[in-house]
Amino acid sequence: KQEVTQIPAALSVPEGENLVLNCSFTDSAIYNLQWFRQDPGKGLTSLLLIQSSQREQTSGRLNASLDKSSGRSTLYIAASQPGDSATYLCAVGSSNTGKLIFGQGTTLQVKP
Protein backbone atom coordinates (compact mmCIF):
# COMPACT_ATOMS: atom_id res chain seq x y z
CA LYS A 1 0.00 0.00 0.00
CA GLN A 2 1.44 3.32 -1.10
CA GLU A 3 2.02 5.88 1.65
CA VAL A 4 3.18 9.44 1.09
CA THR A 5 4.84 11.47 3.82
CA GLN A 6 5.78 15.13 3.80
CA ILE A 7 8.28 16.66 6.18
CA PRO A 8 8.20 19.14 7.78
CA ALA A 9 4.50 19.65 8.47
CA ALA A 10 5.09 23.38 8.83
CA LEU A 11 7.89 25.73 7.90
CA SER A 12 8.46 29.44 8.53
CA VAL A 13 11.21 31.32 6.73
CA PRO A 14 12.15 34.96 6.15
CA GLU A 15 11.55 36.42 2.73
CA GLY A 16 14.32 35.81 0.24
CA GLU A 17 15.44 32.45 1.55
CA ASN A 18 15.80 29.39 -0.66
CA LEU A 19 13.99 26.40 0.78
CA VAL A 20 13.34 22.71 0.19
CA LEU A 21 10.18 20.76 0.87
CA ASN A 22 10.43 17.00 1.15
CA CYS A 23 8.16 14.19 0.04
CA SER A 24 8.76 10.48 0.50
CA PHE A 25 6.79 7.48 -0.74
CA THR A 26 6.94 3.81 0.17
CA ASP A 27 6.29 2.11 -3.20
CA SER A 28 8.66 3.02 -6.03
CA ALA A 29 6.26 1.71 -8.69
CA ILE A 30 4.83 5.12 -9.45
CA TYR A 31 3.40 6.55 -12.64
CA ASN A 32 4.15 10.17 -11.86
CA LEU A 33 4.43 12.65 -9.02
CA GLN A 34 2.73 16.02 -8.76
CA TRP A 35 3.25 19.01 -6.51
CA PHE A 36 0.23 21.16 -5.71
CA ARG A 37 -0.30 24.38 -3.85
CA GLN A 38 -3.39 24.97 -1.67
CA ASP A 39 -4.28 28.41 -0.36
CA PRO A 40 -6.59 28.64 2.69
CA GLY A 41 -10.20 27.99 1.73
CA LYS A 42 -9.27 27.37 -1.89
CA GLY A 43 -8.80 24.45 -4.21
CA LEU A 44 -5.52 22.94 -5.31
CA THR A 45 -3.33 24.43 -8.02
CA SER A 46 -0.96 22.13 -9.86
CA LEU A 47 2.62 23.39 -9.76
CA LEU A 48 4.71 20.68 -11.37
CA LEU A 49 4.18 17.17 -12.72
CA ILE A 50 7.11 14.77 -13.04
CA GLN A 51 6.63 11.59 -15.05
CA SER A 52 8.28 8.46 -13.66
CA SER A 53 10.89 8.54 -16.43
CA GLN A 54 11.93 12.10 -15.56
CA ARG A 55 14.33 13.33 -12.89
CA GLU A 56 13.16 16.90 -12.49
CA GLN A 57 10.87 19.65 -13.68
CA THR A 58 11.26 23.40 -13.41
CA SER A 59 8.80 26.27 -13.51
CA GLY A 60 10.04 29.74 -12.68
CA ARG A 61 11.43 29.76 -9.14
CA LEU A 62 10.26 26.19 -8.55
CA ASN A 63 12.23 23.03 -9.18
CA ALA A 64 10.97 19.57 -8.37
CA SER A 65 13.17 16.48 -8.39
CA LEU A 66 12.29 12.81 -8.37
CA ASP A 67 14.37 9.86 -7.20
CA LYS A 68 12.22 6.78 -7.60
CA SER A 69 14.81 4.34 -6.26
CA SER A 70 15.00 6.10 -2.92
CA GLY A 71 11.29 7.02 -2.89
CA ARG A 72 11.87 10.74 -2.62
CA SER A 73 10.94 14.01 -4.22
CA THR A 74 11.90 17.54 -3.29
CA LEU A 75 10.38 20.88 -4.17
CA TYR A 76 12.94 23.66 -4.22
CA ILE A 77 11.67 27.23 -3.98
CA ALA A 78 14.20 29.91 -4.80
CA ALA A 79 14.11 33.43 -3.37
CA SER A 80 10.92 32.87 -1.39
CA GLN A 81 8.28 35.59 -1.27
CA PRO A 82 5.35 36.23 1.12
CA GLY A 83 3.04 35.27 -1.74
CA ASP A 84 4.51 31.76 -1.61
CA SER A 85 2.82 31.23 1.76
CA ALA A 86 0.45 28.27 1.33
CA THR A 87 0.21 24.54 1.92
CA TYR A 88 2.22 22.46 -0.54
CA LEU A 89 0.96 18.97 -1.30
CA CYS A 90 2.84 16.13 -2.90
CA ALA A 91 0.79 13.46 -4.72
CA VAL A 92 1.98 10.18 -6.17
CA GLY A 93 0.27 8.61 -9.15
CA SER A 94 0.29 4.90 -8.54
CA SER A 95 1.02 2.55 -11.41
CA ASN A 96 -0.98 -0.14 -9.72
CA THR A 97 -4.18 1.62 -8.87
CA GLY A 98 -4.38 4.57 -11.25
CA LYS A 99 -5.09 7.12 -8.57
CA LEU A 100 -3.30 9.96 -6.77
CA ILE A 101 -2.11 9.34 -3.21
CA PHE A 102 -1.57 12.60 -1.34
CA GLY A 103 0.74 13.51 1.49
CA GLN A 104 -0.59 15.65 4.31
CA GLY A 105 1.22 18.71 3.07
CA THR A 106 3.74 21.22 4.32
CA THR A 107 2.36 24.58 5.40
CA LEU A 108 4.82 27.28 4.44
CA GLN A 109 4.89 30.78 5.86
CA VAL A 110 7.22 33.33 4.30
CA LYS A 111 7.64 36.36 6.54
CA PRO A 112 8.26 39.79 5.02
Q: Binder to another protein among 5, 32, 74, 85 (CB under 8 A)? A: 32
Number of neighbours of residue 57 by Cβ within 10 angstroms: 18
Q: Binder to another protein among 64, 105, 108, 110 (CB under 8 A)? A: 105
Distance, in Å, from the CA atom of 33 to the CA atom of 94, rounded to the nearest integer, reads 9
40 touches another protein (CB under 8 A)? no
Distance, in Å, from the CA atom of 92 to the CA atom of 27, rounded to the nearest integer, reads 10
Q: Which is nearer to another protein, 24 or 34 (CB)?
A: 34
102 touches another protein (CB under 8 A)? yes
Q: Binder to another protein among 11, 19, 49, 62 (CB under 8 A)? A: 49
Provide the H-helix boundaries in 43-111: none
